[in-house]
Chains A and B, each alone.
Chain A
Amino acid sequence: MSVASPVAGPVIEGVTGSVQSTLARIVRRNGWTIVLYLLLAALLLLARALRSGFGPADIQSLAIGVMPIIFAAAAQTVCVISGGIDLSVGPVMAFTSVTAAALMKGGSEESAIVVVIFVLLLGVAVGAINGALVVVSRVPDIIVTLAMSFVWAGAALLVLSSPGGAAAEWFKDLSSGSFLIDWLPKALVVVLVCVALVWLPLRRSRLGLSMYALGSSPVAALRSGVDVNRTKVAAYMVTGLFAAAGGLTLTMITGIGSPRPGDYTLNGVAAIVLGGVSLVGGRGGMLGPIAAAFILSLIRINLVFLGVEPSYSTVIQGVILIIVVMIGGLVALRRSRA
């Protein structure tokens, strides 16, 4: 979907025009992201209008619910931008979540820090395995990660056969409550800081540039001296890191670990597509998917406020996704003809 390219990859700009044209360019380039944030604001206002009591507590529960989806979307974004797709994000989240819960059980509060670091490294290792298999086997990404989704789901079941484990108190506190002001949920701050800490330096780095190049055109990237295989593995490692962070938030929210993968793979893919990341690769950024993750959840909440039966909300969510991508397809068609 090439509706727009929010936060497009680093592009060398020639002459910078006047302030006006710079502004116009920003709007043109990030048009879709701006639309998404306007939509997000509208949905929040709608929620407030529908339920007068909609306040900080609701925002907090929204942010807590969206946390794992944001990490799943962030994981998928990195992978898709570099021209791959990772269908094992959900199972990897389950695997890292149960590992964290199993290790934290019985451990002291301090040792939980070590567990968190270990689980993040585990995610990187899992990603490295996925990426290495893609490179070595020469099988398309979608097939490798599809096969690996069975493997990681099995690994999750090996760690804990049924929901269990525990989480440290300070760890659980990370997602509850607010930060500084009532309207700013701590969960939101945590997730944004985590994503920014990894993504912002990465996007500006040589590796980030290589990832966008690889996603745009593997052949061109190779000819320009990008180490294609290493970039691919690195992208999957970052994907694994975000997936592990998502798994940690699952443990953080529930206080336990569940070996059953949720719908996070599909939710993540839906969020990045709505967020303007092109599935073909090489286009998109992190701001769009984050907004999209919130929008998808807010639509559900607003439908509940409207008194729509919860069973309809899946239908409506799917219909919205389809309509958005169809509009995207139409816009792309228009552009290619123009």
Chain B
Amino acid sequence: MSASPGTVSEVAAAGPGRTPWRRRLSEQPTIPLLFLLLCLVLLLFLIQPGILNRPNAWISSTIRFATPLALLAACQTLAMLTGGIDLSVATIATMSAFVMATQSAGQGDAVAVLLGIVVGACMGLINGIGIGIFRVQPLIMTLGTGLVGAGLLTVYQKFVLTAGSSVPDPIAWLGGGTSLGFFPNCLLLFLPVAALIIFSLRRTGYGRMLFAVGDNPIAARLAGVRIWQVLLVVYVLSGVLAAIAGIMLAGVTKTAALGSAEGLLLPSVAAAVIGGTSIFGGRGGYTGSIVGALILTVLVNLLTVLNAPQPIRQIIYGAIILAVAAAYARLTGER
């Protein structure tokens, strides 16, 4: 899939000025996205000038709510780069948060968090085995594990109902707290994770293999890539990231309820798509997904401030996701 016009004749035929401009945008998809984000923020300020009195509080709360979404979008980005999708992330996030919250009283905070992450890794491993080794369609496999996970959670809930649940203080601090009056603590975790993902995707062999597998699995196999291993690792990583997202979400909301992360599933896919990651694999990156997550969070904020009724909000939300995805497809000439 070569989206950018490559040959000299094409550049000449398209006329001066236009094609290089388009080409630059298609190579740097985050620039128009950042512009859109800026527009949305400005619009928000116009409608609700009160925010400007306490900009720090607004920024840190936006970042706090965007972080779990951005982490889930990381799962989708990784899966989508290989040509897949992970529809079990929301269930995994909920499971991890719930396990952590219910185990923290008996096991101690550190063990509880670790248990939550292990749960995510195990679910990811099941996905990876199905998709990598048995070649099941990612959509169906993750749908199935999502069902299983949701069921297991209800069963588990019955056993621990009496134990009660509480979010450990350090997690609440990390997820929902701020330092120095403006710095959201979640960035302490998110920035290194994001940097690691972006760096690995661009600079490491494994990152390049992800793109290779998504772009052309047959070519990747002929080039000696063990596709099943790549896929297995991707879905385990996705599970771990989803677990971290769930734990952070529990930190933000200070509770771990069943279904708490369900509402983030579709936005996580949307964030990755808006961010320019192709659902067919091989194209995209995590930077765009982060901006996508920020855009969606600001959008929800904006729609809340507008005080529009819930149905109108939902319709506008869907329409904007579609519009941005369509604009992106036009801009890069991707098919």
Contacts and interface: CB of A to CB of B under 8 A. Distances in A.
A313 interface: yes
B273 to A, nearest CB: 5
A155 B315 contact: yes
A23 interface: no
Contacts of A321: 140, 143-144, 147
B144 A322 contact: yes
A147 B321 contact: yes
A151 interface: yes
Given A157-B314, A332-B135, A151 B140 contact: no
B60 interface: no
A91 to B, nearest CB: 9
- Tell me what chain B mostly uses at the interface: helix, strand, loop, or mixed: helix
A140 B318 contact: no
Contacts of A133: 322
A146 B135 contact: no
B325 interface: yes
Contacts of B130: 322, 325-326, 329
Nearest to A333: B135
Nearest to A156: B311
Given A154-B318, A315-B148, A317-B147, A138 B335 contact: yes
Interface string B302-335: 0000000011111101110110011001100011
Contacts of A137: 322, 325-326, 329
Contacts of A138: 326, 329-330, 334-335
Interface stretch (A234-242, A265-273, A285-293): A265-273
Given A139-B325, A315-B152, A318-B144, A155 B319 contact: no
A179 interface: no
B144 A150 contact: no
B270 interface: yes
A279 B140 contact: yes
A153 B316 CA distance: 11
A148 B312 CA distance: 13
- Tell me what chain A mostly uses at the interface: helix, strand, loop, or mixed: helix
A1 to B, nearest CB: 7
B134 A150 contact: no
Nearest to A152: B318
Interface in A205-244: none
A92 interface: no
A269 B143 CA distance: 9
A142 interface: yes
A140 B135 contact: no
A266 B143 contact: yes
A314 B143 contact: no
Interface string A253-282: 000000000000010011001000001100
Contacts of B280: 140
B18 interface: no
Contacts of B334: 138
A311 interface: yes
Contact of B326 (A139, A142, A146, A155): A139
Given A318-B149, A318-B151, 17 more contacts: A1-B137, A136-B326, A137-B322, A138-B330, A143-B325, A147-B321, A147-B325, A269-B139, A313-B151, A314-B154, A315-B147, A317-B151, A319-B148, A321-B144, A326-B130, A328-B136, A330-B134
Interface of A: 1, 85, 133, 136-140, 142-144, 146-151, 153-158, 161, 266, 269-270, 273, 279-280, 309, 311-319, 321-322, 325-326, 328-330, 332-333
30 contacts: A137-B329, A139-B325, A142-B85, A143-B270, A143-B321, A146-B266, A147-B318, A149-B266, A150-B318, A154-B312, A157-B310, A269-B143, A270-B143, A270-B144, A279-B137, A312-B155, A313-B151, A314-B147, A314-B148, A314-B150, A315-B151, A315-B155, A318-B145, A318-B146, A318-B148, A319-B148, A325-B144, A328-B136, A329-B135, A333-B134
